[in-house]
Structure 1
């Protein structure tokens, strides 16, 4: 998978004594809530898995609690526009940061589709596996296997979340959507029952900071970016925009469906940001 490098990362602001104090208490609090609830989630799965299999009636609420608390701890504004779909199907969104995981999980019971290497990342990989993330290799030779897995999860009622851009950006644009993963929605047995809900994620930087403050892309180090976000005062915010669900059967093929979703995600971006490539 290629990594977007269409803009130079902004320089990280210096962290003063007050900033390091915020890093310490926010980091410890966020880590305690996250990994403490992870322990509760894993215990709950011991009961949930044998009784319900793919269905998870309890543990997604633990994930949502952690993600909502993350923004409280960070002091970031979190706002939502639109309604979450009730129909069976998937969710697609633009991708700008590791914070997307918290932002998109905070209000909706979803399961991310992620590149396979994330499973091996310290901390994040453990959390991703525990919360039911679907890991894939972006290899066309494995497309059939992926489609079978997606079909199984979608039929179980899971709302899978895809980032069709295939990479994160500076959050100031929406890249053309890759269409490969949309093919899973056109398999027999899914085509006539699924909807796809486009979602736009919009970050607002802290006052006086670079507009791409919260974005994480290219070769940016995770540790440095995490420290910058933990230290920030005042903070900015994130807005989640839920668009009207798109019926899969209304589109002739995966390319038409991907374009409809891409247009919906892009239209909610502030005009100064929706630059495409």
Structure 2
């Protein structure tokens, strides 16, 4: 190769390198002694107004992320934990709490797990014996034992209520404080809430007509299900996969659960709504049929808030029984809000004593206007429960809860959080 060609290529290469160096230099600024500071808690450089490189707009500093989390907590206040164990149940514990937790892990958890499994297996055997020679009804390709009559149904219901209360006792709920507001109190209640009106004719209805087909309750924890089983043994709406679980699957069929697949919203959703409405009307008319237990919020909260109600429990246009649950606590909150299921169960079993407070409101009879508008009916019952339960109304829901939990795990910045919420 000629020497002049080699020199020409070398010159071009040097010019390209020089151009790149000038571009890099344009992004550099003269560093000072205060150019880089490190945060003691994150050990990450902080912008002091004179950075070495221009900041990447896509990267948020930890200080900004912390601010975003605090803003997100305000938006998702219904799911924030305030107990000793803190956010996600991973807070820094004081030494006395660590000692109590260690004692609970060593002695309470093994004992309670063994006793709880024994009760579960015992009730499974009872359900298996009572359904051994019974041909079930089938709804949505699932076996349904809710319509068993005779001694089989009596054994399933009475043993189920007793063993559910026994299981609550094993979990540390030694006493349950229940308050039922009578019809005499309901007169004052109607003066406070002008949309909940019971006519004299309604108050003189017979016991059969007074029986509501559906019970609506705020949703705080899986313990809610155990309480309602021990109280009235109703049917629930459950995920389709529950029917396939060992032990629990058969028990859910004996409860008469209506199964739904959350991923399907078209024909499957309409089918489930139709089944729920039929079951509510049947329970209203037939005393031997199980009532439907519905959590219209659609997810759990920390117990201080009441989310926007879905209309499923109110489409049947018949009366409902509102029930308000609370879980007072000193150290650990029984609310299953923003904590994993397994961690919550273990910490719950470590507590020496747990508490439940229940307030049963009078049966709510919808007005003619509410019968025509299920959304109005649901909103009026929601406001009534918030008033009598001293609960804060909130319009967030399951979607916001998922975003909040994802943000707590450190996977989203505020910008991504809001984008995810919009999606």
Q: Same fold (TM over 0.5)?
A: yes
Range that drifts further, 114-123 or 170-179: 114-123
User: Are the aligned partners of 1:110 and 1:161 in contact in 2 as well (CA < 8 Å)?
Assistant: yes
Choose from 300, 319, 333 the match for 1:168.
300
Per-residue CA deviation, residues 85-121 of structure 1 (Å, 9 max, x unaligned), is 8514101111111111111211113111123344456
Choose from 253, 270, 276 the match for 1:144.
270
Figure out how many residues of one structure are paired with residues of the other and give that number. Answer: 259
Determine the C-alpha separation between the residues in 2 that align with 1:115 and 1:50: 20
Structure 1 residues 128 and 245 mapped into 2: Cα distance closer, same or farther (>3 Å)?
Answer: same
> Is 2:351 aligned against 1:232?
yes
For 2:225, the equivalent position in structure 1 comes to 101
Choose from 176, 180, 186 the match for 1:78.
176
User: Are the aligned partners of 2:258 and 2:272 in contact in 1 as well (CA < 8 Å)?
Assistant: no
Matches within 5 A, 1:119-134: 119=243, 124-125=248-249, 127-134=251-258
Specify every segment of 5 or more residues in structure 2 that has no aligned partner in the other structure, as ranges. 1-75, 81-86, 92-96, 138-144, 183-206, 284-288, 396-423
> Is 2:363 aligned against 1:263?
no
Structure 1 residues 48 and 4 mapped into 2: Cα distance closer, same or farther (>3 Å)?
Answer: farther
Higher relative contact order (CA 8 A, sep 6+): 1
Structure 1 residues 121 and 264 mapped into 2: Cα distance closer, same or farther (>3 Å)?
Answer: farther
Q: Secondary structure at the match of 1:103?
A: helix
The Cα of 1:178 is off from its aligned counterpart by: 1.8
Determine the C-alpha separation between the residues in 2 that align with 1:4 and 1:131: 34
Range that drifts further, 253-262 or 16-25: 16-25
Range that drifts further, 168-177 or 240-249: 240-249
Choose from 170, 174, 184 the match for 2:315.
184
Structure 1 residues 171 and 198 mapped into 2: Cα distance closer, same or farther (>3 Å)?
Answer: same
Determine the C-alpha separation between the residues in 2 that align with 1:268 and 1:48: 44
Determine the C-alpha separation between the residues in 1 that align with 2:229 and 2:323: 12
For 1:65, the equivalent position in structure 2 comes to 162
- Provide the TM-score with structure 1 as the length reference: 0.80
Specify every segment of 5 or more residues in structure 1 that has no aligned partner in the other structure, as ranges. 186-190
Structure 1 residues 43 and 246 mapped into 2: Cα distance closer, same or farther (>3 Å)?
Answer: same
Structure 1 residues 264 and 67 mapped into 2: Cα distance closer, same or farther (>3 Å)?
Answer: farther
Choose from 65, 90, 114 the match for 1:28.
114
Q: Secondary structure at the match of 1:16?
A: helix
Choose from 357, 360, 373 the match for 1:253.
373
Q: Secondary structure at the match of 1:165?
A: coil
User: Are the aligned partners of 1:182 and 1:257 in contact in 2 as well (CA < 8 Å)?
Assistant: no
User: Are the aligned partners of 2:160 and 2:229 in contact in 1 as well (CA < 8 Å)?
Assistant: yes
The Cα of 1:60 is off from its aligned counterpart by: 1.8
Determine the C-alpha separation between the residues in 1 that align with 2:104 and 2:233: 36
More helix by share: 2
The Cα of 1:136 is off from its aligned counterpart by: 1.5
Q: Secondary structure at the match of 1:135?
A: strand
Structure 1 residues 69 and 113 mapped into 2: Cα distance closer, same or farther (>3 Å)?
Answer: same
User: Are the aligned partners of 1:41 and 1:62 in contact in 2 as well (CA < 8 Å)?
Assistant: no
Q: Secondary structure at the match of 2:118?
A: helix
Per-residue CA deviation, residues 128-186 of structure 1 (Å, 9 max, x unaligned), is 3443211113444133312321233231533111111111111221111122x14531x
Per-residue CA deviation, residues 220-241 of structure 1 (Å, 9 max, x unaligned), is 32222111111112x1311121
